[in-house]
Amino acid sequence: MTTHYLEVSVRPDPETSNAQLLGMLYGRLHLALVQQKRSDIGVSFPQYSRNPRSIGNVLRLHSSESSLHSLMQDDWLKGMRDHVRMTAILPAPDDAAYCVFRRKQFKTSAERLRRRRMKRKGETSDQAAEAIPVTIERKPDLPYVHLRSHSTAQPFCLFIARGPRQEKPGQGDFNRYGLSQHATVPWF
């Protein structure tokens, strides 16, 4: 149950952009959620905006008070403490609405999809081009966090979609990024 929250804000740094700092912060949170095998911590981005497209500089963590205390006992912010400001664990406002923050993946490159199909199915370039038209490509318009894969070390963009405001909370688990298809977090 997401009854409490805490906010972690990145501080401006002359050598590192806020977007890079937020990516590093979010990457560390992801690693902590994986290591602790947690599915009870949700995230939101209070400064989330689609126009102009921005995820903002604040990461809000949602869960029960005890779960947030447990997460924070692990020193997952090690090396980042000079770059962030953190609030205390606070109860979510009683009159808050709710919303879902979910990952959204896009088929952004027909050429990449074709190469993948050729490798997996043993097709020729022409067969893959016929199966995957250029029209499949979509230009993402969602805010994102730039991360680096822990398994492959490849950089990638984690696109995040905010669902509509809801009056009642939705139940479910959160993934290791603190996102969910159904579970809501308080939105205020």
Instruction: Mark whether 69 is an active-site residue.
Output: no
Cβ-contact 114, 125 below 8 angstroms? yes
- Annotated catalytic residue, options 4, 30, 62, 83: 30
Q: Cis peptide before 155, with omega less than 30 degrees from 0? A: no
Q: Give the list of residues 6+ apart from residue 63 with CB closer than 8 angstroms, or none.
A: 1, 2, 3, 4, 5, 40, 41, 42, 71
| C-alpha closest to that of 184 among 103, 57, 90, 97 | 97
Give catalytic residues, as residue numbers. Answer: 30
